[in-house]
Chain A
Amino acid sequence: ETGVTQTPRHLVMGMTNKKSLKCEQHLGHNAMYWYKQSAKKPLELMFVYSLEERVENNSVPSRFSPECPNSSHLFLHLHTLQPEDSALYLCASSQTDGSGANVLTFGAGSRLTVL
């Protein structure tokens, strides 16, 4: 256990479905992240919530929608996904003061398969 918990661990959905991924951190961190991990590709940062600001990667399609109701919880809402969205979605958290590099603590990921 890393202190970052993701549910569900596995999800299979059709292209017309709507589902959500959930992440919860018990570390008291003030920043949370969504990453996409595809086989043999670098981690792709999708969204960051840090110091109450949201930063997003402009290349992420609008069919992915994040929500961060408080500093401990993070959601990724999914709708009308495509088969190429099948990947491992990793949540991470860190403690940041807005400067310097931050060590990320990751969850074990949600494995998403889009049929």
Chain B
Amino acid sequence: GQNIDQPTEMTATEGAIVQINCTYQTSGFNGLFWYQQHAGEAPTFLSYNVLDGLEEKGRFSSFLSRSKGYSYLLLKELQMKDSASYLCAGTDSNYQLIWGAGTKLIIKP
């Protein structure tokens, strides 16, 4: 079957670093998305990884290991505004999106 797993909730401290993990099982695999969703707002695109390795975009980085079926989103220098849900989604062989249930990240002062 097709499945995306990510932790339900994480807590971190302002100014710190947090890593949100995502593991996937899809029938074929083409890439992995990360979206951010603040409460009551639209999910917004953060990153799309196709190749193995780390891609950095400012304070946010996304990592993919195709051989391990694993990805993570790394958030540095956490700010209160980073409190949100982070959605992981893999694309299968037909480029259909398989979504995780999201990780709610709580940032404490």
Question: Given B8, B45, B87, which contacts A103 in the complex, CB threshold below 8 Å?
Answer: B45
Task: Using known A-B contacts A42-B100, A99-B95, determine if residue A90 contacts B31 with beta carbons closer than 8 Å.
Answer: no
Question: Given B8, B41, B99, which contacts A43 in the complex, CB threshold below 8 Å?
Answer: B99
In the complex, A104→B99 CA distance in Å?
A: 13
Q: Is the interface of B mostly helix, strand, loop or mixed?
A: strand
One digit per residue, 1 when the CB lies within 8 angstroms of any chain B CB and 0 when it does not, for chain A 1-38 equals 01010000000000000000000000000000000000
In the complex, A41→B8 CA distance in Å?
A: 10
Residue of B nearest to A44 (CB): B99
One digit per residue, 1 when the CB lies within 8 angstroms of any chain A CB and 0 when it does not, for chain B 19-54 equals 000000000001101010000111111001000000
Residue of A nearest to B40 (CB): A108
Interface size (A, Cβ < 8 Å)? 19
Q: In this assembly, does B84 line the interface, its C-beta being within 8 Å of a C-beta of chain A? A: no
Q: In this assembly, does B101 line the interface, its C-beta being within 8 Å of a C-beta of chain A? A: yes
Q: In this assembly, does B74 line the interface, its C-beta being within 8 Å of a C-beta of chain A? A: no
Interface size (B, Cβ < 8 Å)? 23
Residues on A with C-beta less than 8 A from B95 are 99-102
Closest Cβ of chain B to A13, distance in Å, is 20
Task: Using known A-B contacts A40-B101, A101-B33, determine if residue A109 contacts B42 with beta carbons closer than 8 Å.
Answer: yes
* Contact status B100-A107, CB under 8 Å: no
Beyond the given A100-B95, A109-B42, could you list 10 further A-B residue pairs with CB under 8 A, ordered by the A residue number? A41-B101, A42-B98, A42-B99, A42-B101, A42-B102, A100-B30, A101-B33, A101-B95, A104-B35, A104-B45
Show the binding face of B for A, using Cβ within 8 Å: 4, 8, 30-31, 33, 35, 40-45, 48, 87, 89, 91, 95, 97-102
Closest 9 CB pairs of A and B: A42-B99, A106-B42, A43-B99, A108-B42, A106-B43, A101-B91, A42-B101, A2-B42, A103-B45
A-B contact pairs, 20 of them (CB 8 A): A2-B44, A4-B42, A40-B8, A40-B101, A42-B99, A43-B87, A43-B97, A90-B43, A100-B30, A100-B95, A101-B31, A101-B48, A102-B95, A103-B33, A103-B48, A104-B35, A105-B42, A106-B42, A108-B40, A108-B42
